[in-house]
Structure formats: C-alpha cells, structure tokens
Structure 1
Amino acid sequence: MTKIKETVLASELTKIDVTEKLSACPIDFSKSRVANPRADQKQKNYDNQPVKSNFNERKKYELSQAPQFNQLFTDGTLAVKPGKYRLIWSKHCPWATRIAIAIDLLGLDEVISKGVVDPLRPAGVVGDWFFTLDENNEDPVLHIKALSESYLQADPTYKIRTTVPALVDVETGKVINNNYNTLIDELAIAWKEYQAPQAPDVYPEDLQADIDALNKILYTDINAAVNEAGLARSQADYEKYYDRVFNRLDWLEERLNNQRYLFGNQITDSDIRLFVTLVRFDTVFYQKYYVNKKRLVDYPNLWNYAKDLYSLPAFKNNTDFDAIKKRFYQVDHTPISDLKRIIPKGPDLSIWEEPNDRNRFE
C-alpha cells in the first residue's frame, strides 16, 4: 500500500473521527419525527404471515452494527469463480447501490448475478428484506423468500438486523460478505480477469492510499452525515451534522472545479461512493432530513459531475428514483391505512438527462 500522496487529504483526515459501521438503510426508527413520523405514538402488533411482526421489538436493532460477514477474495478465502455469487440489494439503498454500480461498471454483471429485494417490508417487520418483487415472492436463483434465510444459512444463530448489500454463495445459499466498505475494492482487485476490457480501474494501486483516505472523509462527512442529521435528537446535534455536510460539499465543489472526477480523469471507487448520496440529495435528504442550505443543483461543479456519472449506464441503470421515494417517504413499518404518508411529486427528474459540462476536461 502506498503512502498518502495528497497532503490535503492527509490534513482533512486528521479532522474527522471515522467509525465505519453498517448504517441503517435508511433510518428505520428514531425519536426524531424528521425520520419517524410515528414517534411518540402508541405502537401496534401486526400479523404478517408467514413473517412475525417485530414492530414492538425494534429496540433490539441498533442504528449501526459492525459487518458480520467479511470473507474476502483478495486473501484467497473465496474462490473467484463466474456464476458462483449473487448480489442481493435494494434499489433504494445508497450503500447497496454502490456495489450494484461497481458490478456493472466493471463489466462483472456477466459473471456475478444480482437479485433485488422490495424496498418496502410487510407491516411491523423491521430487520429483514423480502423478494416480493419476484414471481411467487421468491428469488429465482437462490429460491428464498426472505434474505434472512441466507443469513441463517451462514449462521444459524444470527439474530441481528439483516442488511443489504449481501453477497451470497449460490452453491451454499450462505451470505459470505455484507461489508459495503470493502466489496468494491475486492471486486476491483480480485476479479480483473473477468472485467470488461474498457472497464476503468476504480482502485489503482498507485492511488489506493489516497482513495482510502478520501473514502473515509466521504463516509464521515457525506454518506453518514446526512443520515445523522435526520437522526438528530437535539438542535445542536442536527446543526453539527448539517454544517459537516455543507462544509464538505463546498470542499468537493472546489476540488471538482479543476478535474472531471475526484481523482483526475479516471473514475474511482470514491466517485461511486459520492454519487449514491448526491443522486438522493435533492429528492430525499434536502427535504426529509433538513439538510437544506443548498440543493445539489445549486453547486455547478457537483451538479454537472453527478449528471456526467448518471449519463453512464452503470450509474443510470442502478438509480431508481421511484424505489428511493417509496422507501424514504413511506418507511414506518406500518400500513398506509394506519399512518398515511405523502410521497413528494417532485423534484423534476428530467433534468438528470440534460447535458453536462464535464467534457471540458478531456
């Protein structure tokens, strides 16, 4: 591993305290009414066959948890074998979308399949994901109805929250990695033999230390900070994360003034990690989590940069605004009939198709 070359990244890294745990996707419950419109109301039990309602047991699920499955390709633990693995993800989830984008961008969609869970769960269910978008409510490859089945295959004693993304061994049905902090780099390094000829090197050896440093900055000040603003239980906490988000967006706006992507003219892991938050910013975070100093469209460089990435099939085809809106605005684990929610009609999504100015760096 090379040393950090960019002194500015080394300096910025000293200003933050990074804790890379798996975050809720999105926030399931909070005492803040920003995130949970049912806060302070009387809870209910729900009868969901064949799944049991655990609405009243929600406190056993922490807002974040360390990844439980971390088997790697790069250390030889896992075999690099086409057709052996399946990514299970939800289209609403920024953490899971990272891996879906990376698979397509690297051209690995020919050797690693993808399955999608419903962004909405049965009423009362908190810690699981279901294949209710598929025929017979079953994943056509793994032949399971709930993602927890693969978690229990890997660990029969597993009792904590089931998370996406989850990379599953098709042959055994077991989850082998659910760590979105490492999966992109694992695919970039260990699966080079199967990557498309035109695929970018998203984790080049000479930039790895710099990418790692920037990824920690993005995680702390952008990816996680928008959630923390929504989770805030005090004005002081909310304003701390609000300031953190916009100070970093200002910093990124300046960085992108002189280069097409975060590291010059090549797309890297860092661009994928930033994009998944930016593409949800005006639609969700600006409105629901009160990070409303500026919209993404108010940042000329960041906005054109995001449109530039969106113009690529790997980014566009794995961005589902409908799923994003459904999950972030309907999530409460109660039926609409019990607590009605309104899904915003806007913003105008056609602007994502408009030209961008990033070709000026070619």
Structure 2
Amino acid sequence: MTQATLSALLAERPFIRFWLARLAAVLAQQMLMVAVAWQMYDLTGSAWDLGLVGLFQFVPALLLTLPAGHLVDKLRRGRIFALCMLVQSGVALLLVLATEGAFISRELILGLSILLGAARAFQMPSQQALLPMLVPTHLLERAVTLGSTGMQAGVICGPALGGLIYAAGPAWVYGVAGGLLLIAFGLMLSVHDPFLPSTEPTTLASVLAGVQFVWQNKLLLGATSLDLFAVLLGGATALLPIYARDILHVGPAGLGLLRGAPAAGALLMSLLMLRWPIQRQVGRWLLGSVGVFGLATVVFGLSEHFGLSLLALAITGAFDNISVVMRMTLVQLETPNEIRGRVSAVNSIFIGASNQLGEFESGATAALFGAVGSVVLGGVGTLAVAAGWFRLFPALARRDRMLP
C-alpha cells in the first residue's frame, strides 16, 4: 500500500471508528471464550460441558443468521452492530455479578452462551455489509485487509490477555471484556452510515433472497463454497492437543504456540498485503492460496519436528488470509447494497459451518485413521478442491481484477 493510499484510508474517520470497534470486540470475545471455557471446566470438570458451550453458541447463530441478514438490509447496520456490542457487554456484566455473587452455574453459562450466539448471528452480517458503505470502492480491498490485520491481532492477543487476567479471577476477565465491548458500543454510535430504508415486504422469499443470489451468481458460489470445503477438510485445530502431547511432545506451552501460529502467519500476510496488494489474476491467487493451504496442512500432518510444524501452521494461516481477504472483497463488490446483508449472512453461515463441522470431521476421521491420517487426508482433500474449482467455476479462475 502506498503512503497516499494509506493516508486516504486513514482519513475515512467512520471506517477508523468501525475498525477500532471491531478490534475491541474481537479482543473482548476472545477473552470471554477463554474465561468461560476455563470457568466451566473448573465448575464441572467435564469435557462434554466444554463442547456444549461451543454448541450452545453455534446453534442459535446458525438458526438466526438468515433472518438477521434480512433485518440488516432493512435497518441501520451500524446500529445493529452497536446493539450486538451492548448485549454482549450485558452478558459480561452478568458473568461478573454471578461470579462475585457465587451464583455462577453450568446452566447459567450455557444460557448465556445461547445469548452470545444470538448476538453474533446479527453481528457478522451487519459488520460485513456495513464496511462497503464506509469507504470508497477503490479502497475496499485495503479496508478488508486492514480489518483482517486487526482481527488477527485480536485473535493472538485476546486469549493471552484473558489468560493473564484470569490469574486474578474470572470476574476480572469478564469486567475487562465488558468494558471493551462498551467502548465498541460507543464507537459504533458515532459511526453514521448512509442508510436508505428498504420497503421490500418481509416474506420467506425475501429472507432467502441472499441464498438465491449466491446460487445464481457462480462467481460468488465458487468463492464462498471454496472456503467452506477448504476449512471443512483442511482444518487441523481440533487435533492440535494430540499433536502437542503425543507426536511433538511439547506439552501445554507448545500447544499454545501451535494454536497461535496460524494467526501469526495471517497477521504477517495482512501486513504484506497492505504494502503490496494483489492487483492482477485475483482468481488464480484465490484458488492457488487454497492449494498452498492444503499443501502446508499435509506438511504439518507428517511433521514430527516442532519448528517445522510451527512453520507449516503459520503458512496455513498466511495463505488462508489471502483467501479470506480476496473472497470477502469479491463478495462485497459483486453484491448490490440492498441485498448485501442477506448475502453476508449466507457467507457467515458458510464460515461458521466450515469451522464447526471441520472440527467434527477432524475428530471423526482421526478416530478411523489416526490424527496423522486425518490431517494428511484433509490436506489432500483441500488440494483436490482447489484443483476442482478451476474446472467447476471458470469465471472465478479467470477473474483478473477485483473490479470487473
């Protein structure tokens, strides 16, 4: 990114406030995930209950995302995002009160997990659909890249910060997270996005309009389904504890480094893309990056050397970030503003499903073929998907520039 381009992007004050709000939100959400999981395990000692925390967040997010996308297209997107921040700060405050008042329980944590999942169902499509309204079209790819930079920084720093604060007690983590979410809420109230209220009647067809639009637009279908299948097959996150303990023999400290390696690689790639954005052959870059992701997954699966494993995971994160930035930019550019919320909701479902089902797929194949066999087969499957998408979606493979 040239100095002039960076200066132009930083001059977009609504975007900068939105970027800071998202950074605060990611930090808070990562801290909440660490504290809630740790406190649940302290309360019950049950791995099953840890899984339920994730499930109770995923199910309402899955069920509500399409209706949320429709609402995002009818109301002010910035206000919806702000309300999501306020709801999540309320959850954090209730966790503080429950912890300090000694009425925290398994049932309360699971109930609040449902509320967190519902809030995030509205947060994801609103933040995705809002971004193109805050920056000029020619700055959109850089804005997406800068947003990815902040998100990866939050993913790296949030869990570490939450873990450090947890030493003083879970209530402190919830309090800091709640404060960050209130900061995000205040920042979003100052973001005045241009808004034209929709007069489209609410029907089943209008709620599903995003699904129909993606299905009919083969370029978007190829881009969104590429991420779904790549992460579904190639994700190795769920098996990292097995690698840390039984294959690499690095213990809990090594597991922390393994978990952070993809985000570190993604952060570095985001910084490189800010300086040198991809301007030509974007379709080949998108498909090629998924291929490299699959190849690095295979290397990680076969590696018995800790340094090589860290490098392979960092490469998966770096090239996955290329895919994410380019896919998100293409989705926003190819979608009319009046339907952007509903299309973003479809994209959110694909992302959520790939992450959650990917962990299940990894566990299921590991039970059949072992951890190494599961990861290697997933990486090979991702390579096959990248190659197959060249033939199935030629318009995507031939796309030269972001702007047609």
TM-score (norm 2): 0.27
User: Which structure is higher in RCO with an 8 Å CA cutoff and minimum separation 6?
Assistant: 2
More helix by share: 2
TM-score (norm 1): 0.29
